[in-house]
Structure 1
Amino acid sequence: MRPWLSDTPADLGERDGIERPAADVVLIVDDVPDNLSVLHDALDESGYTVLVATHGEAALQRAAQALPDIVLLDAVMPGMDGFEVARRLKARPDTAHIPIVFMTGLTETEHVVAAFQAGGVDYVTKPIRPREVIARIAVHMQGARQARQARNALDAFGHATMAIHIGSGRAVWQTPLARKLLQAYFGIEAAPFDLSQVPAQLLNWVQAESAQAGQGLAPKPLALVNGARQLVLNLQERTSDEDWLIVMREVSDTAVVEAMMASFKLTLREAEVLYWVVKGKTNRDIGDILGSSPATVKKHLEHVYEKLGVETRTAAANLAMRRVASLAQR
């Protein structure tokens, strides 16, 4: 067995202070040593840095450690097959962006469809022809490199951006800030955020507004509320036939709520209730926003009336708007 066929982590060039090689990194996953040998030699001669794995678990470990630029993945392996490996890679934020090219002897339509549904960007049939594989890799590597540069630029500027594939309902990639905002506004507690599952409300909005855009109509933004903060999502552009770019922007009126607390000696929850009264929301709406019952909102509002010296929600809203406006002018 060649040294690079070992399934121990030692041959990975683990990311413990060792610099990532300048050459593009290819991870080959196949349980047949002869296939690994042929591909390894061909890719190595073409200037690629090559990593290998002979089963699914090793593939996931290597991908998480080395973050290769592309994965050549055998579809049929004992234990965890290639389709499941692909799904798991696409479900992780750190590996979801890596293009996957399936290697398969299964050319029936259902298997080809399964490869793409699992997250593959292409497939090659066995017996493997190294020159064809290298040509396919070069094409996908160029696209992946450009996408990586764009993601790195967005991350560097702190932009909250993600791309969603409408057909599969999967997030293709997202910046760290976008992932943080999704977790906050959709109540997702699992870490890391599972990219294979886009919240239903978000996916339904993307599908509806992309259809509108396809008819030449301007897509409408999606606004989500979290206390005095609001997340506004805009459908930006289509990056491919079924991938749509989403840009998020968080709008915060925390300063307004704090001003109400200080001016009228309100509690935080009372100030939040008053804030949404000013916005024209009903007690039921406010309860849904703040996670309280309408009866609890009514009780908070009674305390607000007492502290403001008013008797109606209209009077309370008018007084609050005047006070905030006067503070803004100072």
Structure 2
Amino acid sequence: MNLPDLRATPTPDADHTAERPAWQADRPVVLIVDDTPDNLAFLSDTLQAHGYAVLVALSGEDALKRLARVTPDVVLLDAMMPGMDGFETCRRLKQDEQHEHLPVIFMTALTETEHVVRGFRVGGIDYVTKPVRPEELCARIGAHVQRSRAQLYAQTALSLDARAAVIVGADATIRWQSQQAAQQIAAYCAAPPVAEPNEADTQAKLPLPLRNWFLTWIARGAQADATHEFTLGHVRRSASVTPTAESGEWIIILKESDDALHGDALAARFGLTAREAEVLLWVSRGKTNRDIGDILGMATRTVNKHLEHLFRKLHVETRAAAAATAIKALDRA
């Protein structure tokens, strides 16, 4: 993300962000709020040199407008500004649930205890004094970014409960995974995911089948949620992807379905033959008689015969009722 030259005299209405899609620039984002263009330019150059993407705002009002469109990783906020000062800006942004846990670092020449306490009371998490020391500032920002993202992962993990879920970056790097997901991922490659041998980044990535599907989806613009399905032996696997609350990261939910186990469960529950159980399983998945015949390698009229027997054994009259009965039984299995 290239910031315009702020040493030129910008106006409060100028759009300095020119944001690129998060999947094109997967870097921590810092929003700098300062009414002095020279300060903005210095801080922007410093943070970009340390690998951060930078957004800027010349006032508290401008900062709140920015935050209505994008959520950064950290806000670097000048305490003393004309109009809406940093304390009021922080108080207002913290009223938004989306920004409740957003780390705010105050920049101030004020070192009196009352001002430091005021900053913490309105929701600030840290402060640095002017003139800002670049190395100290970057170290503080880095620590808060790491802590904030760890908290987001923890919240996401709780919301996902016991599902097989993976959080990945735009390069398919695994940033978090549930225990259930780790077990299912191993089945994609017969071993746990490993880093590429020639990569400096030692973080594990999705196994190739999932990685190729995910990266293709990213390359096409990641415009909508997507699902990937394939069959390995008698096990059907699927992976669905959707964005997380954190930009540049996605949640992949993994599911697996063992047709053999499900067929056995239906046969035992309703006293079916193996073939009848297979037909019922595919009926519960919305397949037509012709589809079922193709899948199981039998004539359509044979499928019809099996369905007649199924209806009698399940005490139903329609395939919709048979499907509902099967789905309910499998949910309880």
When the two structures are superposed, what TM-score results if normalisation uses the length of structure 1?
0.44
Larger Cα Rg: Structure 1 or Structure 2? Answer: 2
When the two structures are superposed, what TM-score results if normalisation uses the length of structure 2?
0.44
